[in-house]
Structures are given as structure tokens and as C-alpha cells.
Amino acid sequence: MQPDTNPAVSRATKNPVRLETVTNLQSVQCPYCGEMFETEVDTSGGNQEYTEDCYVCCKPIVFRIEVDVDGELTGLEVQREND
């Protein structure tokens, strides 16, 4: 039996790393155009703030999410990027 020539591939196949992502589908209203749209909010990283473009008008929306110790979404706030 030939040894693997690429140890990184060998390690990856023997001990795959599992990354868990917990997402919640949420309805939000764009603070620019007022349109409602659904987006997935990833709660696996705890409390966070990130920017995502509106699916309708493409302007940047700041998302602030709050997560409890069990990883459950407890708060979601959206606002214009420069507010």
C-alpha cells in the first residue's frame, strides 16, 4: 500500500472538521426602501454586527443580532449604514 503523498488531504479525510452553523430565517424591513424581505441570520457566532445589502434596493443595511447563552436569537435590529 502506497503512503499518501499529500498529508493535508490524508488528515482531512481521516479527521474531517465539522463546522456547525445555526441559522434563523427572519423577515426584516429595509430602512432605505421599506421593502420586507427574508434573510438568514447566523446565530452560531454569538452577538454580532455585520452589513448586508438589501435584496431589493442594494443599499447597505447594518444588522445587529443578540443571542442568548443557548444560541437562540433574542434580538435583531437593522439600520442604515451611516446612522
Q: Per residue in 35-65, pLDDT tens? A: 999 999 989 889 999 999 998 999 999 999 9
**Position 9 in a domain:** no
**Position 14 in a domain:** no
Cell reading at 33: 426602501
- Predicted pLDDT of residue 24: 81
- If you average pLDDT over every residue of the chain, what do you get? 82
Examine the pLDDT at 2 and tell me if it is beyond 60: no
Per-residue pLDDT band for 15 (boundaries 50, 70, 90) equals low
Q: Which residues contact 68 (CB under 8 A, 6 or more apart)?
A: 74
Q: How many domains does the chain have?
A: 1
* Torsion over CA: 22, 20, 44, 61 (sign): negative
**Position 67 in a domain:** yes
What domain range is 44 assigned to? 20-80
**Position 38 in a domain:** yes
Cell reading at 57: 434596493
Phi, psi of 48 (to 5 degrees): -160, 165
**Position 6 in a domain:** no
